[in-house]
């Protein structure tokens, strides 16, 4: 700390020069305050076996029931997962995955039957899951233009440099630009319930309410304000290379079209890990009498557009109910039970140690 | 015998390069003298500020970036600007900017204060004589050669040579309290040829030049010569010394006005030269801090290398490198792979660079700076008598106070009061005790003197007379009349106006006062005549011809006087070792016996001798002295030679004994230091017996201590070699694991407590590089070995430089122990500067020691609190601070490293920009700063009561590698817990009850943190996980602490458990705050 030492010395010098010299014996007695004399009241927990013991037992006693509660809750959540990538020959989607080409105009469709052995009572959430897809790659993550997505008309025609090489196509600005938008998940999933009488009935899927409220209403906005004519607004821009439709044709509903399309918003919120799931649709509960998804046979119809084989990825469809603690995750409950038991066990160990050494210390103190 | 004849002898045609010629009043010398060469000198502007308005920014930035840490962050910042890096330049630019700005503001403010002070000094009015008139001008316009008028109580504006004063004898009184703290009035002399000037006109008519050395920082040294031209005659040359030079900063006292000529101005004045910063001392903590930094730098580089290599291994397949959804731009694709790899490496460096704590230095600095106020604020270290508390001259070394292993202390004024009292004197073996009971007879102060043995009257009588006169004449004491006195001085009431004796040496005052009580009163020095009131109330006058000043090498002083009967007498007093060899007659044996007896009782003894000079002898002595005094170069050496020639063939008169009481609680302090595991060495210039007695009194040596002597007396009998080996063997038998160990313990329990006494002569023999007897090994090593095994060492008969040598020797020994030197006088300065920590005592012998020290305390007893309480606290605080800084950054950055395995080594940062930026500069540095200012793990009372607690922190124990490793492992463990905890808990799950997926790290670069927090903190499981992870991460530390405390408690921990303690347990609270801030992703 060079500065302060220098300072101290200089002050010394100046007092001597500027002061009258000598005779400056004004009382420099320090104040007798608790702070200056370092006598502030304080409390210090001493970690001895004696004090820590009860804490460990209490932690154990609190954590184990919480853990059990969480575990039971988690187990009550029903979850069904099906992989429709089509890697195996036997898979219905095998053909679609083999014959994939970006240019094909005719969509490839495959149908996967499955059986739910339990009825799903409340709202059911339908997810798509991707594996080995590095949505968290740095080059990928930054390849977007937030101001464009927020409805900035200038960015619409001049996308940010970050979007390269997905910023311009044939000298037209891409809207929405960037690698994330370009690679948007575009499989279409439909669910059918196979009635016991042999007929198929389509299960209605809600497309809204799947994005964060803040994303939908704050972060993402269509350019041109409230202009309902999105076609005109996006004039002069081109669709992302891999898209089949331009952005203003994502949905017929004006509240769910353009940049504020919820499927798009969900995709744009990049996942942190290479294996992730994203909310696709919600199956609303109709009435209290009938379960949302009764027990029985179902069919999943996939319009297979999204290639994952090239990077050894997988595609899944997940159906799940939720509770107050979210989706199915037994780990939290198990972790709580484990930590609780460890604490309890340590409490016992410490009790023994305390019993053995505590006495010895005390006797040593007395002898001192 | 007109002395002026001798003065005209031209002295040595030395090399004049190092001198300057000052033309008084800017007048050219008359033709025939040397050519007039106008020289350029700086004006009298004092510039203590470092910066000007214009150069502040560049110069300050340059200064700051010379620090390696700042420079490192600057490089990182530039890398971020140049290449495409994962984090925005803001993340490292902002903290750097913050650190730089805080420092710059602090330094700028200090400099502004300096500017203001400079201004007020430079513009204060000064009277200058120009063309025979007094002209008022501003201080900074003064130039070398100007004649200045200074009035009473004014401060000298620059270094001046006194020409004449309003007093008739051409003297003036000056106090240098502001320069060196000596509040005594010192007398300065004008050259006899100029002292007669009374008016401006007369002064202005003076035609003279001054030749003097170029400015030097030593306040007490000056050599010069004044050449006075009168009409057509040869110039008259007079010597100028320190007694003619008035220093800037000193104040004129008791003199109406003086005329003086400026010789050194502005930044060349001795005061300005003295306020330059001295060499930087670095603390052990800082050294380990730098070592840790290097380790972390290595970790950082290896992390970056590992990741770069893994990245390219992983990217081997093009599907991974560039999957269809994530193409590179053309530009990037064309870049060469080596360049790409290097850029990647740099990007990883940038990503992980937060492992180097940017704000550590600034936090540590703030902690030290603010923390040092606790020392100055300490009420217990305030001394009512002095009216001053402890001073901190540098806050760099606060924590070093807790690491001291060797304490080197001065004896006089440090261990003892330096408050001398005359006890007795002995003339030829007859003892005289003033005002005391002797042989059952009460002697009152001025009454007759008891004579113990009767010897032939005439001879005795003569010696007795000479002895008392010698003591009355041989000194440099001044007499102060009552009305002019300020400050605290002892008065002696005489019936006449009260007067005081003032001297820079308390011994002299004690002696002169003692003489007064024995009936011989020194009255005054008037017109070079010393007046003594003898027993018969007659005034005797002696002409003072020469004073051969005291110095610590010679250890004696002399005066040459001419008695009223015309005899030339040389009186000398000094340490026995420096007098006895020069004595040719007198009752040496009796005096020696008495001296030794007094020394054993712990009294300070001085011997007095005289020599009668014949006229020719005197003339010769005069010649030697003037020649030496006139010399411009090597004056010191020449003077020493001259003194050596003159001071010989003495007749021994007798000896005196003066008592110096121990300082209050000195013994208690030394005992505490011993218990705290420190080795205390006493280094003194005093003689062995006196010093040893003090050591016993101060409990440095206990009765049980086995004393090993390594003194000249012993080495004369045996060779040094044999003595050393013998001592070493004695020690080895008792201390090392030899088979005799148990026998030894059985024989005497105190065998292990050794004390060593060594004297200056033997020490220099030991330290002398040993060339001839190479076969005998190095004495130095053996000596160190002996010292290491002694708990107390007394070094007596030490010259100031030897003190520093000893300190240096111990500093350089194998273990590199931390040394502390404490002293009060100018002779301790060298050792104070040499030791790791220098402590000055604001003593009676001036303030030089306090000024040159790192810390200054009023009394020796304050050392106990300084080391045991403040030192202990500061060390604990800074150690925790440093460890925590490294811990928190590992904790912060390691998840980042782990995350690279999950994002394809693409340098994706885990944290948001704002978080990266603020983590170091506020989230984690402010709480720990507060902690490191107020933490008290044990109460002050406990620390004072149990000095042995100091051993717990000895040898930098809290910053050793195992501890550092433990903290780092803890950091890694916590990082792993947080990362994988979050990974599993949040993996693949929906967290909110409305089913929306909110994965763990959605706040990648461009997204708004606020909404993420809103989403996360509104979900229950997130809170549950935070609680769980914090619990888990605290577990190992808590368990470790509990187990350590239960199994093998340290002394500190035992002290804690026996007594309810203060403040918070170190890591826990901060880990909590820190963890929760971390967990908020």
Pairing verdict, β B159-165 and B257-264: antiparallel
**Residue B274 pLDDT:** 65
pTM above 0.80, yes or no: no
CA atoms of B207 and B258, how far apart (whole Å): 18
**Ligand-binding site membership of B484 (annotated):** no
**Ligand-binding site membership of B40 (annotated):** no
Alpha helices in B534-600 (DSSP H): 576-579, 588-600
Instruction: Give contacts of B1025 with chain A, Cβ < 8 Å.
Output: 332
Instruction: Give contacts of B1038 with chain A, Cβ < 8 Å.
Output: 47, 52
**Residue A69 pLDDT:** 92
**Residue A83 pLDDT:** 92
- Do B755 and B793 touch, CB atoms closer than 8 A? yes
B857 sits in which H/E element:
strand B855-857
- The percentage of chain B sitting over the pLDDT mark of 70, rounded to a whole number, equals 81
Which of B382, B906, B1038 lies closest to A30 in CB terms?
B382
The minimum CA-CA distance between A169 and chain B, rounded to whole Å, is 13
Question: For tokens 């940010």, what's the residue?
Answer: A160
CB–CB of B275 and A12 under 8 A? yes
Residues 6+ apart with CB under 8 A from A203: A191, A192, A193, A283, A293
Q: Is B677 left (phi over 0), alpha (psi -120 to 50) or beta?
A: left
Q: Which of B314, B388, B364 is nearest to B344 (CA)?
A: B314
Total residues belonging to chain A = 368
Instruction: Give contacts of B906 with chain A, Cβ < 8 Å.
Output: 134, 136-140
User: If you ran DSSP here, which 8-state letter would residue B139 be given?
Assistant: G
Which of B271, B906, B990 lies closest to A326 in CB terms?
B990
Residues carrying CATH 3.40.1110, chain B? 419-441+554-660
Cα B564–Cα B570–Cα B576 angle in degrees, nearest 5: 140
The residue of chain A with its CA nearest to that of B1042 is A48
**Residue B184 pLDDT:** 60
Q: Which two tokens stand for residue B206?
A: 């003076």
What residues form DSSP beta bridges with B205? Answer: none
What residues form DSSP beta bridges with B529? Answer: B526, B543
**Residue B752 pLDDT:** 60
Strand, helix or coil for residue B172: strand
Print burial letters for B608-636: b (CB count within 10 Å at least 16), e (below 16).
Answer: bbbbebeeeebeebbebbbbbbbbbeebe
CA atoms of B365 and B394, how far apart (whole Å): 11
CA atoms of B435 and A95, how far apart (whole Å): 125
CB–CB of A30 and B992 under 8 A? no
**Ligand-binding site membership of B770 (annotated):** no
CATH match for B19-44+142-269 among 3.40.50, 3.40.630, 3.30.70, 2.70.150 = 2.70.150
CB–CB of A42 and B114 under 8 A? no
CATH match for B419-441+554-660 among 3.30.70, 3.40.1110, 1.20.58, 3.40.50 = 3.40.1110
The residue ranges of chain B whose pLDDT is under 70 are: 1-18, 29-39, 177-185, 232-233, 274-280, 435-460, 480-499, 504, 552, 632-633, 713, 716-718, 731-752, 769-777, 844-846, 986-1018, 1057-1081
SS3 annotation, chain A: CHHHHHHHHHHHHHHHHHCCCCCCCCCCCCCCCCCCCCCCCCCCCCCCHHHHHHHHHHHHHHHHHHHHHHHHHHHHCCEEEEECCCCCCCCCCHHHHHCCCCCCCCCEEEEEEEEECCCECCCEEEEEEEECCCCCCHHHHCCCCHHHHCCCHHHHHCCCHHHCCCCEECCEEECCCCHHHHCCCCCEEEEEEECCCCCEEECCCECCCCCCHHHHHHHCCCCCCCCCCHHHHCCCCECCCCCCCCHHHCCCCHHHCHHHCHHHHHHHCCCCCCCEEEEEEEECCCCCCCCCECCEEEEEEEEECCCCHHHCCEEEEEEECCECCECCCHHHHHHHHHHHHHHHHHHHHHHHHHHHHHHHHHHHHHHC
User: Among positive and negative, which fits the CA dihedral B839, B842, B845, B850?
Assistant: positive
- Do A110 and A93 touch, CB atoms closer than 8 A? yes
Strand, helix or coil for residue B726: helix
Strand, helix or coil for residue B823: strand
CA atoms of B573 and B655, how far apart (whole Å): 9
CB–CB of B324 and A183 under 8 A? yes
The residue of chain A with its CA nearest to that of B368 is A1
- ipTM here: 0.86
The minimum CA-CA distance between B310 and chain A, rounded to whole Å, is 15
User: If you ran DSSP here, which 8-state letter would residue B701 be given?
Assistant: S
* Cβ–Cβ contact A17 with B under 8 A: yes
Instruction: Give contacts of B373 with chain A, Cβ < 8 Å.
Output: 36
B979 sits in which H/E element:
helix B961-986
The minimum CA-CA distance between A81 and chain B, rounded to whole Å, is 12
* Cβ–Cβ contact A350 with B under 8 A: yes
CB–CB of A43 and B1062 under 8 A? yes
Asked whether the bond before A176 is cis by omega within 30 degrees of 0, the reply is: yes
* Cβ–Cβ contact B83 with A under 8 A: no
**Residue B658 pLDDT:** 84
**Domain locations along chain A:** 50-77+335-355, 78-322
Mutate to test the interface with A, among B378, B869, B990, B1006 (most CBs of A within 10 A): B990
* Cβ–Cβ contact B67 with A under 8 A: no
The minimum CA-CA distance between A226 and chain B, rounded to whole Å, is 24
Q: Which of B18, B454, B23 is nearest to B209 (CA)?
A: B23
Question: For tokens 């690698």, what's the residue?
Answer: A179
B491 sits in which H/E element:
strand B491-492
For chain B positions 990-1019, those within 8 Å of chain A (CB to CB) are 990-1002, 1004-1008, 1011, 1014-1015, 1019
Instruction: Give contacts of B1011 with chain A, Cβ < 8 Å.
Output: 212, 214-215, 218-219
- Do A77 and A323 touch, CB atoms closer than 8 A? yes
Residues carrying CATH 2.70.150, chain B? 19-44+142-269
Strand, helix or coil for residue B760: helix
Question: Would you list the DSSP string of B300-355?
Answer: HHHHHHHHHHHHHHHTTSHHHHS-TTSPPPHHHHHS-HHHHHHHHHHHHHHHHGGG
CA atoms of B1025 and A331, how far apart (whole Å): 10
Helix B1020-1047 to helix A330-353 angle (10° resolution) is 20
- Point out the residues of B that are catalytic: 410
Cβ-Cβ contacts under 8 Å between A and B: the total is 342
Print burial letters for B135-168: b (CB count within 10 Å at least 16), e (below 16).
Answer: eebebbebbbbbbbbbeeebbbbbbbbbbbbebe
Instruction: Give contacts of B173 with chain A, Cβ < 8 Å.
Output: none
CA atoms of A55 and A343, how far apart (whole Å): 9
Q: Which of B370, B489, B298, B405 is nearest to B816 (CA)?
A: B405
CB–CB of A324 and B277 under 8 A? no
CB–CB of B1063 and A44 under 8 A? yes
Could you give the dihedral angle defined by the CA atoms of residues B830, B831, B833 and B838, in that order, rounded to the nearest 10 degrees? -140
* Cβ–Cβ contact A15 with B under 8 A: yes
CA atoms of B96 and B361, how far apart (whole Å): 11
**Ligand-binding site membership of B106 (annotated):** no
Exposed/middle/buried for B650, CB within 10 Å: 0-12, 13-18, 19+? buried
CA atoms of B51 and A3, how far apart (whole Å): 13
CB–CB of B389 and A28 under 8 A? yes
**Which CATH number is B405-415+663-732+752-765+779-835 given?**
3.40.50.1000
- Do B886 and B877 touch, CB atoms closer than 8 A? no
For chain A positions 282-301, those within 8 Å of chain B (CB to CB) are 282
**Ligand-binding site membership of B803 (annotated):** yes
CA atoms of B229 and B137, how far apart (whole Å): 28
**Ligand-binding site membership of B846 (annotated):** no
What residues form DSSP beta bridges with B560? Answer: B546, B570
CA atoms of B611 and B618, how far apart (whole Å): 11
The residue of chain A with its CA nearest to that of B249 is A17
CA atoms of B846 and B825, how far apart (whole Å): 7
Mean pLDDT by 10 residues, chain A (368 residues): 34 33 51 83 74 87 93 89 88 83 78 91 89 88 87 87 87 89 91 89 88 83 82 88 88 86 89 85 84 90 88 90 80 91 90 73 42
For chain A positions 147-166, those within 8 Å of chain B (CB to CB) are 164-166
What is the distance in angstroms between the CA of the first residue and the CA of the last residue of chain B?
98
**Residue B986 pLDDT:** 67
Instruction: Give contacts of B1041 with chain A, Cβ < 8 Å.
Output: 47
Mutate to test the interface with A, among B119, B323, B394 (most CBs of A within 10 A): B323
Instruction: Give contacts of A43 with chain B, Cβ < 8 Å.
Output: 1062-1064
């Amino acid at each position: 700390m060079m500065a302060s030492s220098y300072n101290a010395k200089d002050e010394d010098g100046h007092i001597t020069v500027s002061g009258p010299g000598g005779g400056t014996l004004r009382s420099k007695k320090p104040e007798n305050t608790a702070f200056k004399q370092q006598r502030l009241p304080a409390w210090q927990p001493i970690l001895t076996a004696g004090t820590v013991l009860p804490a460990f037992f209490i932690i154990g006693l609190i954590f184990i029931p919480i853990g059990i509660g969480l575990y039971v809750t988690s187990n009550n959540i029903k979850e069904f997962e099906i992989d429709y990538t089509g890697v195996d020959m036997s898979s219905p989607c095998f053909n679609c995955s083999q014959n994939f080409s970006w240019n094909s105009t005719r969509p490839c469709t495959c149908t996967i039957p499955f059986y739910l052995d339990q009825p799903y009572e409340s709202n059911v959430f339908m997810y798509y899951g991707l594996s080995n897809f590095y949505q968290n790659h740095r080059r990928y993550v930054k390849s977007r233009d937030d101001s464009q997505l927020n409805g900035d008309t200038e960015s619409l025609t001049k996308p940010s440099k970050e979007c390269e090489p997905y910023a311009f196509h044939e000298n037209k600005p891409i809207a929405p630009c960037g690698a994330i938008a370009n690679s948007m998940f575009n499989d279409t999933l439909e669910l059918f319930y196979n009635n016991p009488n042999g007929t198929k009935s389509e299960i209605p899927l809600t497309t809204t309410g799947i994005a964060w409220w803040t994303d939908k209403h704050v972060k993402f906005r269509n350019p041109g304000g409230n202009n309902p004519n999105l076609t005109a607004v996006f004039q002069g821009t081109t669709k992302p290379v891999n898209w089949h439709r331009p952005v203003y044709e994502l949905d017929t509903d004006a509240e769910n079209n353009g940049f504020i399309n919820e499927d798009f918003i969900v995709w744009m919120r990049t996942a942190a890990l290479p294996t992730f799931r994203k909310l696709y649709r919600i199956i609303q509960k109709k009435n209290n009498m009938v379960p949302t998804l009764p027990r029985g046979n179902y069919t999943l119809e996939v319009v297979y557009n999204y290639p994952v084989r090239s990077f050894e990825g997988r595609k899944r469809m997940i159906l799940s109910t939720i509770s107050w603690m979210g989706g199915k995750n037994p780990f939290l409950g198990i972790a709580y039970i484990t930590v609780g038991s460890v604490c309890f066990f340590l409490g016992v160990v410490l009790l023994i140690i305390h019993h053995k050494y505590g006495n010895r210390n005390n006797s040593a103190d007395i002898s001192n | 015998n007109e002395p002026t004849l001798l003065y005209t002898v031209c002295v040595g045609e030395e090399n004049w390069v190092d001198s300057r010629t000052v033309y008084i009043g800017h007048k050219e010398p008359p033709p025939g003298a040397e050519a007039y060469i106008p020289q350029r000198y700086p004006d009298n502007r004092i510039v203590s500020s470092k910066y000007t308005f214009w150069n502040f920014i560049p110069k300050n930035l340059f200064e700051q970036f010379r620090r390696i840490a700042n420079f490192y962050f600057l490089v990182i910042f530039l890398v971020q600007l140049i290449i495409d890096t994962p984090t925005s330049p803001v993340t490292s630019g902002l903290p750097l900017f913050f650190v730089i700005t805080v420092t710059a503001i602090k330094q700028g403010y200090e400099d502004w204060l300096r500017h203001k002070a400079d201004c007020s000094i430079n513009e204060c009015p000064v009277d200058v004589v120009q063309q025979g008139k007094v002209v008022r001008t501003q201080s900074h316009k003064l130039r070398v050669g100007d004649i200045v008028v200074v009035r009473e109580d004014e401060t000298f504006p620059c270094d001046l040579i006194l020409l004449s004063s309003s007093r008739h004898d051409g003297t003036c009184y000056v106090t240098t309290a502001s320069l060196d703290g000596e509040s005594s009035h010192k007398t300065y002399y004008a050259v006899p040829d100029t002292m007669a000037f009374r008016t401006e006109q007369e002064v202005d008519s003076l035609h003279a030049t001054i030749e003097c050395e170029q400015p030097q920082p030593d306040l007490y040294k000056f050599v010069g010569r004044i050449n006075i031209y009168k009409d057509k005659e040869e110039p008259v040359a007079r010597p100028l010394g320190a007694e003619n030079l008035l220093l800037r900063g000193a104040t004129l006292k008791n003199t109406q006005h003086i005329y003086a000529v400026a010789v050194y101005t502005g930044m060349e004045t001795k005061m300005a030269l003295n306020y330059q910063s001295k060499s930087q001392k670095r603390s052990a903590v800082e050294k380990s801090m730098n070592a840790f930094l290097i380790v972390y730098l290595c970790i950082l580089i290896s992390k970056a290398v590992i990741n770069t290599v893994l990245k390219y291994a992983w990217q081997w397949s093009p599907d991974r490198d560039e999957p269809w959804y994530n193409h590179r731009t053309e530009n990037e694709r064309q870049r060469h792979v080596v360049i790409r790899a290097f850029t990647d490496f740099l990007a990883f460096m940038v990503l992980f660079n937060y492992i180097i704590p940017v704000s550590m230095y600034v936090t540590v600095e703030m902690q030290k700076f603010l923390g040092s106020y606790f020392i100055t604020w300490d009420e217990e270290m305030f001394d009512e008598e002095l009216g001053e508390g402890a001073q901190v001259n540098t806050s760099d070394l606060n924590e070093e106070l807790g690491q001291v292993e060797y304490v080197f202390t001065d004896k006089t004024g440090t261990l003892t009061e330096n408050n001398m009292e005359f006890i007795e004197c002995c003339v030829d073996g007859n003892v005289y005790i003033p005002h005391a009971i002797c042989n059952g007879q009460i002697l009152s102060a001025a009454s007759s003197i008891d004579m113990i043995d009767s010897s032939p009257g005439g001879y005795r009588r003569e010696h007795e007379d000479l002895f008392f006169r010698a003591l009355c004449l041989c000194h440099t004491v001044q007499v102060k009349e009552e009305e002019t006195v300020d400050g605290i001085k002892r008065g002696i009431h005489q019936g006449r106006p009260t007067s005081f004796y003032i001297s820079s040496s308390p011994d002299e005052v004690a002696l002169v006062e003692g003489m007064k009580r024995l009936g011989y009163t020194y009255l005054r020095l008037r017109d070079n005549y010393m007046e003594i009131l003898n027993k018969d109330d007659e005034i005797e006058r002696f002409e003072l011809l020469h004073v051969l000043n005291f110095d610590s090498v010679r250890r004696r002083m002399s005066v040459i006087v001419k008695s009223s009967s015309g005899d030339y007498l040389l009186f000398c007093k000094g340490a026995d070792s420096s007098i006895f060899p020069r004595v040719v007659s007198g009752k040496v044996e009796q005096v020696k016996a008495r001296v030794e007896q007094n020394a054993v009782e712990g009294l300070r003894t001085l011997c007095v001798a005289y020599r009668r000079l014949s006229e020719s002898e005197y003339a010769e002595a005069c010649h030697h002295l003037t020649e030496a005094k006139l010399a411009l170069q090597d004056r010191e050496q020449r003077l020493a030679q001259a003194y050596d020639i003159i001071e010989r063939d003495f007749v021994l008169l007798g000896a005196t004994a003066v008592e110096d009481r121990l300082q209050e609680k000195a013994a208690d302090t030394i005992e505490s230091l011993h218990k705290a595991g420190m080795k205390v060495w006493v280094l003194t210039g005093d003689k062995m017996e006196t010093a040893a007695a003090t050591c016993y009194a101060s409990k440095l040596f206990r009765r049980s201590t086995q004393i090993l002597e390594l003194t000249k007396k012993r080495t004369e009998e045996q060779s040094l070699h044999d003595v050393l080996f013998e001592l070493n063997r004695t020690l080895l038998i008792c201390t090392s694991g030899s088979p005799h160990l148990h026998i030894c313990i059985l024989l005497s329990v105190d065998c292990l407590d050794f004390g060593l006494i060594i004297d200056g002569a033997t020490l220099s023999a030991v330290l002398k590089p040993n060339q001839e007897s190479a076969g005998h090994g190095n004495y130095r090593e053996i000596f160190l070995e002996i010292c290491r095994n002694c708990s107390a060492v007394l070094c007596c008969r030490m010259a100031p430089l030897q003190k520093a040598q000893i300190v240096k020797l111990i500093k350089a020994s194998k273990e590199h122990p931390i040394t502390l030197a404490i002293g009060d006088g100018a002779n301790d300065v060298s050792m104070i500067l040499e030791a790791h920590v220098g402590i000055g005592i604001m003593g009676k012998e001036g303030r030089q020691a306090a000024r040159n020290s790192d810390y200054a305390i009023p009394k020796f007893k304050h050392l106990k609190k300084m080391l045991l309480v403040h030192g202990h606290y500061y060390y604990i605080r800074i150690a925790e601070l440093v460890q925590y800084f490294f811990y928190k950054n590992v904790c912060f950055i390691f998840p980042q490293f782990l995350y690279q395995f999950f994002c394809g080594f693409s340098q994706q940062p885990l944290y948001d920009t704002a978080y990266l930026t603020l983590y170091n500069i506020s989230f984690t540095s402010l709480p720990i700063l507060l902690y490191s200012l107020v933490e008290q793990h044990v109460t002050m009372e406990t620390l004072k009561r149990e000095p042995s607690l100091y051993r717990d922190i000895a040898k930098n124990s809290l910053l050793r590698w195992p501890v550092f490793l433990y903290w780092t492992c803890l950091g890694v463990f916590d990082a792993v817990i947080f990362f994988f905890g979050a990974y599993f808990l949040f993996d693949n799950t929906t967290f909110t009850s409305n089913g929306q997926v909110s994965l763990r790290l959605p706040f990648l670069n461009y997204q708004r943190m606020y909404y993420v927090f809103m989403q996360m903190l509104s979900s229950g499981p997130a809170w549950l996980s935070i609680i769980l992870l914090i619990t888990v991460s605290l577990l190992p530390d808590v368990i470790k602490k509990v187990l350590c405390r239960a199994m093998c408690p340290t002394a500190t921990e035992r002290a804690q458990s026996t007594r309810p303690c203060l403040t918070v347990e170190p890591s826990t609270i901060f880990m909590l705050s820190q963890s929760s801030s971390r967990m908020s992703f």
